[in-house]
Chains A and B, each alone.
Chain A
Amino acid sequence: MNKDNHQGIWVYIEHTAGHVQRVGLELLHAGRELKAVTGEELTAVVIADQTGDLAEQIKSYGADRILAVDCPQCKEYSTDAYTQLLYDLICEYHPSTVLVGATENGRDFAPRVACRLKTGLTADCTALGIDEETGDVAWTRPAFGGNLMATILCSNTRPQIGTVRPGVFRAEQVGTAAQVVRLEKNLPEQSIRTRIKELVHREGTPFRIGEADVIVSGGRGMKGPENFPMLQELAELLGGVVGASRAAVDSGWIDSSHQVGQTGSTVRPRLYIACGISGAIQHLAGMSGSDQIVAINQDPDAPIFKVAHYGLVGNLFEIVPALIQEIKAMQA
């Protein structure tokens, strides 16, 4: 394959209910970093039944161009339609690189697109770079539950495709507005083999721990679900949310949407407070990128202190209430 025939970095922009998902904006930032090395054009791809407003939402996030595909069969996400449309676009424009957010939908159709193109896909990346020797994208991803990192190249086929974890890059507005290229597509109805019968939204506001600014997390040391309200109070005082380790989730103390770590969400809040979390490697994989990490644990040798900026050795059942009092006093 002549790699030179493939040019351009693409970012697939996912959206739900008329809103662009943050991961797409984050990937535009990642795309700009790659572009800074390769000098390729950065394209955002958005597919919907009506892309008008969606294209507007992403205009200022650094893409040179937006491919906005209107297709009447795309009122809702389907594996078959989105696979076909992205595949057709790639065949038409032959980009060198395609970035897709590692969400449920991204990880649903990106492998099908890659397989249809007979090219490589690297899943769930947490770092991107350009390999100095080959000029290929160096995709770095965790494996073995975050115990091992692997850097993967796709050297002989194009495009090179990867799904990238939400929360790894920061969404960033830049001044310039992208040029919008509108395309209209149509697919045979019978080519879509799934149909959504019903959408059930979870109760309350959608809980996205990955977007929180402050996270107060509890682990096995919390001893039971009855002790989580204390974390909730601390989190609320700091304008944050409650997170949890796998141990706490597996024990049924808190819903899995709160789980931080390799099998949960990757987070990088401004402040992460780990209470009674020993710091299993799979947990560290999901939170060690946080700006400031505070760890409260009884065991001074707990691995969590290896990533913490501030370590408090002691009884969290005394320290957390004291912290709550202290912050209330500060805020008063």
Chain B
Amino acid sequence: MKILVCVKQVPDTTEIKIDPVTNTLIRTGVPSIMNPFDAYAVEQALRLKEAAGGTVSVVSMGPPQAMSILTDALAMGADEAHLITDRRFGGSDTLATSYILSCAVRQLGPFDVILCGKQAIDGDTGQVGPEMAEHLGIAQVTYVSQLRPDGDRLEAVREHPDRQEILSVALPAVITVVKGEERPRFETIRGRLKANRQEIGILDREALPVEDEKIGLTGSPTKVKRTFTPERHAECVWVEGESAKDQAKALCQALSRAHVI
């Protein structure tokens, strides 16, 4: 089984802080990490390989620094890695990004299974996986927590808030994964030392048969009009008292006066 995992380098959004004076994001010093959902996708890929044999390739689209998360995936046990990088790919929205990725998949493939995280924690769109599947004209299952070979198909457990669907999907397929029971494995020391010496393939505009009008800003139907930091309202009424009991009493009175309780 030929397996591909798409991974993205993202800022660790839990470390992002807002400058209280300018009310803008402080991005400097924020560590870059592999998108956590993508790490789960790598884990699913390695498990699938252990169950069905084959190879695990990893691909990322981003600036040259994104190489480091590809090395991370190799250290976890992926077989090979490629970086899609070119200034001309910059400014791509999800439609253009998924188009470029689909071209890379065609170039590197064919693959039986393409895994992605359910969404990236910076953009939070969750669209690139399904749009890539559409560009490739193949099946998809999103929000998958478990995956196993099922003859010439795959069986996937798809998560909803109130239920799980156990699905069978024809291959090739794109699978987007949630954080399931199986946490991403630790890399091994041996894996890390090998990965640090492993060559990573580079795919730039010249190496990929993409149409220029479908990439970058030109190829992106959505445009960011403006960004802003969310407003935080409110005058907080401090409910004080000699004791916790007094505070509780005062709060109940206030809420009752406001007809909340």
Residues of A within 8 A of B (CB): 79-80, 83, 103-104, 107-109, 111-112, 114-116, 118-124, 131, 138, 141-157, 193-202, 206-208, 238, 257, 262-263, 270-271, 280-282, 284-285, 288, 291-295, 303, 305-315, 318-319, 321-323, 325-327, 330
Contact = CB atoms under 8 A, between A and B. Distances in A.
B222 A120 contact: yes
Contacts of B228: 148-149, 151
B216 to A, nearest CB: 14
Given A150-B224, A208-B161, A315-B244, A143 B140 contact: no
Contacts of A112: 130-131, 133-134, 140
Contacts of B143: 104, 108
Contacts of A80: 139
Given A142-B124, A284-B232, A315-B244, A200 B164 contact: yes
B190 interface: no
A330 B165 CA distance: 45
A314 B141 CA distance: 47
B166 A152 contact: no
B124 A124 contact: yes
A326 B250 CA distance: 10
A143 B249 contact: no
Interface of B: 11, 13-14, 16, 18, 25, 93-95, 98, 121-127, 129-131, 133-135, 138-143, 155, 158-170, 173, 220-230, 232-234, 236-240, 243-245, 247-249, 251-252, 254-256, 258, 260-261
B256 to A, nearest CB: 7
5 shortest A-B CB distances, which residue pairs?
Answer: A120-B221, A206-B162, A145-B13, A318-B244, A322-B248
B124 to A, nearest CB: 6
A124 B125 contact: yes
Nearest to B237: A310
Given A104-B160, A115-B130, A143-B123, A326 B249 contact: yes
Contacts of A307: 232-234
13 contacts: A112-B140, A114-B127, A124-B126, A141-B124, A144-B13, A153-B223, A194-B139, A200-B163, A202-B164, A292-B260, A307-B233, A312-B247, A322-B243
Q: Which DSSP category, helix, strand, loop or mixed, fits chain A's interface?
A: mixed
A115 B98 contact: yes
A208 B162 CA distance: 8
Contacts of B16: 144-145, 147, 281
B126 to A, nearest CB: 5
Nearest to B140: A79
Contacts of B239: 310-312
A131 B225 contact: yes
Contacts of B124: 123-124, 141-143, 145, 262
A330 B154 CA distance: 57
B182 to A, nearest CB: 15
A284 B234 CA distance: 13
B251 A306 contact: no
B255 A314 contact: no
A147 B25 contact: yes
Contacts of A195: 167-168
A154 B229 CA distance: 21
Nearest to A158: B221
A114 B193 CA distance: 43
A311 B238 contact: yes
A326 B239 CA distance: 15
Contact of A309 (B165, B167, B237): B237
A202 B160 CA distance: 10
Contacts of B142: 79, 104, 107-108
B224 A151 contact: yes
Given A196-B165, A319-B247, A150 B226 contact: yes
B11 A144 contact: yes
